[in-house]
Structure 1
Amino acid sequence: MELKAVMTPGRPWAITHPLRAFFVTWIGQLLSLLGSRLSGFALGLAVYQESGSITQFAIYSSLVLLPNLLLSPFAGALADRWDRRRVMLLSDVGAGVNSLIVLLLVTWHDAAFWRSHPWLIYPPVILGAAFTTLRWPAYYAACTLLVPRQHLGRANALIDLAVGVAQVAAPVLAVALLARIGLGGILFIDLLSFLVSTGALLLVRFPAPVRRETDPARRDSLWEEMGLGWKFIRDRPGLMGLTAFTGVFNFVISMVPTLITPLVLSFADVSTLGLVQTTAGVGMLVGAVVASVWSGPRHLVASVLCAHLLSALALLVGCLRPSVPLIAVASSVFLFSIPPIQSRAWAIWQRKVAPELQGRVFAVRRMVTLAASPVASLLAGWLADRVFEPWLAVGGALAGTVGKLLGTGPGRGIAFLMGMLGVVCLGNVLAAWFNPRVRNLEDELSEPAPS
């Protein structure tokens, strides 16, 4: 049965043109992401300041991530069963209601109450993260139906641009707004952002893929569907190899931010660290803009590998000297490479996975991505403190060898670790290139019929 797509029936005022629907949705999600990042940063800062406990802050950070890991398969199955626009609506409405609950909790209780009861904020944090988890499989799967295949890389880059804008702008805005309107005001802004994104989704209509007669979603239970995404990837060696490549890539990009802060502070002050982070953030934004306007090489796999090679070189060069300009430029180049890698990799998945299966398959891919983050962050700190810093301390085990190239003293072990991550990136590129299933993925794995 040929796979076609049908437009979900809508009212006369609804935006049904696919590209227009994508851009309206993108604007709404951009504002929603910015509001969520604002409130998330401000709330985490408040938890730390009021409790005075790094443990409480670490628990808060983990609870934000945990629902994404546990619920991604369910979110993917739901995105394939339901209208993807409605799944995104459920995500925004649920997260918005949760923001209202947090706003009321913050308004009703003073700082002294939160110092003695910090755990009361955890249930709404978990609930909000659970609703947010529903968004991503549906968003990326809907993108395939709204954007022509030749422009999927650019559309994914726009999504990355929205994430980058939120990541760069939110901390700066949150610090400024906390002094003026307080945590309650920021939570109210977050609530307004959800209203805007919900309004955008109410205005648009997404095409809905017509299921094949053999589509498992017609007969399997929800639990069986949740395992289908993994089975789909496992049965295709090229996609399995690409998943492994992505897992290593995300492991590295999760370790680097953890290391940059102590590396810079080992020889510079906090204001210099802010300058380095801002420069790096600008690099990521420029990378997203470039990826959204330039289609890149015809072969997407080659484009992904070339961008990852650039990130490896940035890490190798950035570790050489304790120099602010050198580290700032290297950080900027490193983050510049991330949007092209992510957007082109997503385009491969969107082209090779049938639209009616994308929610489940994309959820597994996202779960692999997220699983690397907490492990990488914890391992980065342990390796830096217990292994690499002692090695390159004055008189350390590697002071007479590696120390002659990188120097010795505070921060040089961290620099050596970052250099080793550059070597890992090089190995990841070579492993993918010399794996014929990955290198020839675009030619060997057929694409589903267009929607």
Structure 2
Amino acid sequence: MRGFTVIWLGQLVSMLGTGMTNFALSFYIFEQTGQASALTIAIFCFVAPSIILSPLAGALVDRWNRKVVIIMTDLAAGIVTLVWLTIVLTNGNLEMWQIYLGNIITGAFNAMQFPAFSAAVSLMIPKEQFARAAGMLDFAGAASNILAPAFAGALLGTFGLVPIMLVDVITFLFAILAVLVVHMPQPAAEMIPEGNKRPSLREDSLFGFKYIRERPSLLGLQFVFTALNFISAFGAIIATPMILARTGNSAASLATVQSIAAFGGVAGGLIMSTWGGPKRKVQGVLLGMSAENLLGPIVIGLAKAVPGWAAGSFMSQLFIPIINGSNQAIWQSKVPPAIQGRVFATRRMIAQISFPVAVLIAGPLADKVFEPAMSSDGWAAAIFGPIVGTGAGAGMSLMILLSGIVGVVIGLVGYSIPALRDVEDIMPDFDALTAPIVNNEPAIQSQGE
């Protein structure tokens, strides 16, 4: 675990810088435009290429040295932030299109980071530690989120974007250094059918779809995440503009809620890293989804002030490391390391493909439908006003509440399906297989590319 711990520390520091920049840019965009749509477009520009390019990214990860890929993705994100910093120093501000373009570039490289990092970790630690490692990573993200909003909020009002972006660039360099000094084992050469050549890049890009499609339990598990990510986006993306709208653009209120939410993530990460999750990991995934939505978005939607938003955000973030860690442990133990790049990239695409669609819909839906409907004289104010209030931000609160209710149902329905509930029994661990099989044919070891 020593090598993983070094990389984990690098990620912790890097996440702090990234979190500060994300907080500052979110506030900057909403302050400049006053619209939730502009913020959701910025998020879409990052998420869309990250998801769309996932199959190609996974194929490249399995062909290239995973250590080099991780360094390359961190370096690309650092360069984008450095360019933004230069523009701010030169022109005094950032145009929206510059933020969007930077997010597109960063998102494209980010498509490789998740499969590369996940596949590398699978060979650095024993499988019994998979869930704990995922909990440590969630802890790192949450711990940095406690400090990021506070630091960024303190710096933004007085000094603007410059010192925040400068810190971000330095933290990227720290993360790259941590990866450089650690040995990352590469998987054994991939097994391919006897007499066949290595598949083309196009075939490798499609391999993950075929692998998951032939395993209905894994496919069903990802479809549950697809549905949940779609509906959760309406709540998660709208939470920031909702808080700003209901507090008169108070950066302090937003920072308070996000920091307390991060404490929930820290608690969840600590629980997961020490406990390791339930014995039946699928319970942590599906039942965890229902619990997270019941105690998170539903509470946030019903609340009308910082204490309620903070409580719901804390509980939501508390469950996320348990959900993600349990899910990660299932996949890392079932999928052979040599193909994890392709399979994990496809897995990510299936689970998150609905997210950018929801992001594009959420902003206009909030600005054009829910907010007018929940104004003091809106058509829905009489019905839902006693529940979520009326006026600025009330329509977005209603969106968050509804997303939480549907999220609870999604988790319970998923757990009621035997093929999903019993995935850990149906799918054998990859190291329990007596012989490697590719496309149900005998396999031989590939000799290089």
Question: What range describes the TM-score normalised by the shorter chain of this pair?
Answer: 0.7 to 0.9
Q: 3-state DSSP class of the match of 2:199?
A: coil
Pairwise mapping of residues 63-82 of structure 1 onto structure 2 (< 5 A)? 63-82=45-64
Residue number in structure 1 paired with 2:191: 213
Give 1:415 shift: 4.5
Which region of structure 1 is more displaced relative to structure 2, 260-269 or 131-140?
Answer: 260-269
Trace 1:76-155 onto structure 2 (pairs within 5 A). Answer: 76-107=58-89, 109-111=90-92, 119=97, 123-155=101-133
User: Is contact 2:30–2:39 with CA below 8 Å preserved after alignment?
Assistant: yes
Moved more, 395-404 or 423-432: 395-404
Q: Distance in 1 between matches of 2:10 and 2:91?
A: 33
Partner of 1:249: 228
Which residue among 134, 143, 158 is the counterpart of 1:165?
143
Distance in 1, matches of 2:256 and 2:98, equals: 35
Distance 1:385 1:175, change over 3 A: closer
Letter in 1 for 2:51: L
Q: Quote the Cα distance in structure 1 between the aligned partners of 2:388 and 2:149.
A: 33
Is the Cα–Cα contact under 8 Å of residues 32 and 193 in structure 1 kept in the other structure? yes
**Distance of aligned partners of 1:378 and 1:47 in 2 relative to their CA distance in 1, 3 Å threshold:** closer
Is the 1:51–1:118 contact (alpha carbons within 8 Å) kept by the matching residues of 2?
no
C-alpha displacement of 1:55: 7.2
**AA aligned opposite 2:148:** A
d(CA) in 1 for partners of 2:118, 2:230 = 22
Alignment deviations for residues 294-323 of structure 1 (CA, whole Å, 9 cap, x no partner): 123210001222322212321445545646
- Judged with a 3 Å threshold, the aligned counterparts in structure 2 of structure 1 residues 412 and 187 are, in CA distance, closer, same or farther, namely closer
Aligned match for 1:297, one of 260, 263, 278: 278
1:431-442 correspondence to structure 2 within 5 Å: 431-442=413-424
Determine if contact 1:38/1:190 at 8 Å carries over to the other structure: yes
Q: After TM superposition, give the deviation of residue 263 of structure 1 in Å.
A: 5.2
Q: How far does the alpha carbon of each residue in 1:241-260 deviate from its partner, in whole angstroms, 9 at most, with x for none?
A: 10011112222432223343
Partner of residue 283 from structure 1, selected from 247, 261, 264: 264
Mapped contact 2:228–2:407 kept (Cα < 8 A): yes
Deviation at 1:213, TM superposition (A): 2.8
Distance, in Å, in 2 between the alignment partners of 1:54 and 1:298 is 41
User: Contact 2:35 / 2:367 at 8 angstroms: preserved in 1?
Assistant: no
Partner secondary structure for residue 204 of structure 1: coil
Q: Does structure 1 conserve the Cα–Cα contact (< 8 Å) formed by 2:20 and 2:164? A: yes
Say if 1:34 and 1:166, in contact at 8 Å, map to a contact too.
yes
Q: Please list the CA deviations of residues 56-86 of structure 1 after superposition, one character each: whole Å capped at 9, or x if unmatched.
A: 7665443333331232222211111122112
Conservation of the 8 A alpha-carbon contact between 2:7 and 2:178: yes
Q: Which runs of 5+ in 1 are unaligned?
A: 1-18
1:217-273: CA deviation from partner (whole Å, max 9, x where unpaired): 960111211111111111111011100111122224322233434655676553545
User: Is 1:349 the counterpart of 2:331 in the alignment?
Assistant: yes
CA deviation after TM superposition for structure 1 residue 130, in Å: 2.7
Alpha carbons of structure 1 residues 122 and 300: separation in structure 2 relative to 1, 3 Å:
closer
Q: What amino acid is the match of 1:305? A: L
Distance (Å, rounded) in 1 between the aligned partners of 2:310 and 2:389: 21
SS of 1:374's partner is: helix
1:68–1:370 CA contact under 8 A, matched in 2: no
Give the structure 1 partner of residue 426 of structure 2. Answer: 444
Which position in structure 2 is the counterpart of 1:16? none
Pair 52,354 (structure 1): closer, same or farther in 2 beyond 3 Å = same
Letter of the structure 2 residue corresponding to residue 146 of structure 1: M
> Which whole-Å CA distance do the structure 1 matches of 2:206 and 2:229 have between them?
23
One-letter amino acid of the counterpart of residue 161, structure 1: F
> Where does residue 347 of structure 2 map in the other structure?
365
| Residues 1:312 and 2:293 aligned together | yes
Shift of residue 380 of structure 1? Answer: 3.5
Q: CA separation of 1:367/1:106 partners in 2, compared to 1, >3 Å: closer, same or farther?
A: same
Deviation at 1:181, TM superposition (A): 5.8
Aligned to 2:170: 192
Question: What secondary structure is seen at the aligned counterpart in 1 of 2:191?
Answer: coil
* CA-CA distance at 1:414 after TM superposition: 4.5
Which residue of structure 2 aligns with residue 13 of structure 1? none
How far, CA to CA, are the matches of 1:104 and 1:403 in structure 2? 46
Task: Provide the rounded CA distance (Å) in 2 between the counterparts of 1:183 and 1:383.
Answer: 30
Mapped to 2, the partners of 1:133 and 1:165 lie a distance apart of: 24
Query: Aligned residue for 2:438?
Result: none
Partner Cα separation in structure 2 for residue 47 and residue 391 of structure 1: 24
* Aligned equivalents of 1:222, 1:44: Cα separation in 2: 37
Q: Distance in 1 between matches of 2:244 and 2:178?
A: 43
- Residue 286 of structure 1 and its aligned partner are, at CA, apart by 1.5
Q: Deviations over 1:170-213 (max 9, x none)?
A: 33322333466654443332232222222211211112221343
Q: Supply the distance in 2 between the matched residues of 1:82 and 1:366 (Cα, whole angstroms).
A: 19
Q: What is the aligned-residue identity percentage?
A: 35
Matches of 1:381 and 1:110, distance apart in 2: 29
Counterparts in 2 of 1:398 and 1:179: CA distance versus 1, 3 Å? closer
Supply the distance in 2 between the matched residues of 1:317 and 1:165 (Cα, whole angstroms).
Answer: 23
Of the candidates 17, 25, 28, which is equivalent to residue 10 of structure 2? 28
Please, which moves more after superposition, 372-381 or 267-276? Answer: 267-276
- Cα 1:120–1:248 shift into 2, 3 Å: closer
Q: The residue matched to 1:214 in structure 2 has which SS?
A: strand
Whichever residue aligns with residue 296 of structure 1, its letter is: G
Q: Distance in 2 between matches of 1:267 and 1:120?
A: 28
Comparing 171-180 with 259-268, greater Cα deviation is found at: 259-268
Counterpart in 2 of 1:228? 207
Contact 1:146 1:207 in 2 (8 A): yes
How well do the aligned residues superpose, as a CA RMSD in angstroms? 3.4
Aligned residues: 428
Give 1:337's match in structure 2, choosing from 319, 328, 349. 319
Amino acid at match of 1:137: P
Q: Which amino acid aligns with 2:218?
A: L
